[in-house]
Amino acid sequence: MIIASTMIIIQIVVVGCALWMNPEPCPRKYRVTQEQGGLLAAPIDIQRYCKLDYGGKYILKEEYKE
């Protein structure tokens, strides 16, 4: 019983760390064009503010984080 509860606690800690360490996604203002309220002149300009990670999601570059 002690081993099972210890394993559950370790799994909770590992999953919690994985969720906490996930990078922040690219905010909406960096993903949409100026007509929709964003900063992009064209949709291809997203690469100026965000980079594509290995999971296929855009992550805000370090120089634009506040």
What's the rounded Cα separation, in Å, for the pair 33 and 51?
17
pLDDT (tens, 9 = 90+) of the chain, 66 residues, equals: 888 889 999 999 888 777 777 666 888 888 899 999 989 999 889 899 999 888 888 888 888 877
Q: Is residue 52 part of a domain?
A: yes
pTM: 0.57
What pLDDT is recorded for position 23? 62
What pLDDT is recorded for position 65? 79
Q: Is residue 53 part of a domain?
A: yes
Q: Is residue 36 part of a domain?
A: yes
What pLDDT is recorded for position 3? 87
Measured in residues, the chain has a length of: 66
Q: Do the Cβ atoms of 50 and 26 come closer than 8 Å?
A: yes
Q: Is residue 18 part of a domain?
A: no
What pLDDT is recorded for position 57? 85
How many domains does the chain fold into?
1
